[in-house]
Amino acid sequence: MKDSIERWLGTLFGLIFVALSLLVAVETVVRKAFNFSLQGADELGGYALAICATIAFSLALIGRTHIRVDVFHDRLPPALQTGLNWLSAVCLAAFAVLLASLAWFVVADSRSYQSVSQTPWATPLVYPQTAWLIGLVVFALVSVGVAGRATVLLLRGRITELNRDFGPRSTKEEVDEELEDLKNRSTDGALPPTAGAATGARA
């Protein structure tokens, strides 16, 4: 389930920016060759950035890549580490729900006032803002699911699993992930010589 959500969100993220890059390329060629501008690349770029930011929130949460200040985390007693890891998941879920709620009111106001962008296209803001809202709702749902799982693990006393899945990522985890990514991207399925040497040295 987690991998499927991450794959779909990552694909959507990439497609949006591929489409934006094609639009910018067309805009550049048309402006240079025909002295004509579509006058919308900047506007669509802003919408793409806002929407993809919400997708990135969910991807970062699923991949545990949100920044955690962990200078003292590993030096704290295990029980306190567990409490902080659970609290971080719950607080992030509460923040995500707050963002989605506030975004709902923004979209409602734009619909009520029939707001449009201050650009030549005069785009009704309710359309890009609705896509932005959907991204924030997805982030809220993912955050609530993550917080719910952390709470279940805490109540069941599965402390080791909770700390492993919700604690700050260790340097070893990041290195292992990079090596795995290199292995997956290699054409023959084999690690590059330097990566293989690093794996042997770590073992």
Distances (CA, A) of 76 to 32, 104, 145, 202: 60, 39, 27, 26
Give 59-88 pLDDT, tens digit per residue: 999 888 888 877 888 888 888 999 999 999
124 bridge partner residues: 116
Query: What is the per-residue pLDDT for 112?
Result: 94
The pTM of the whole model exceeds 0.85: no
Which residues of the chain are modeled with pLDDT < 50? 190-191, 195-203
Query: What is the per-residue pLDDT for 70?
Result: 78
Query: What is the per-residue pLDDT for 55?
Result: 94
Give 172-193 pLDDT, tens digit per residue: 666 766 777 778 777 555 445 5
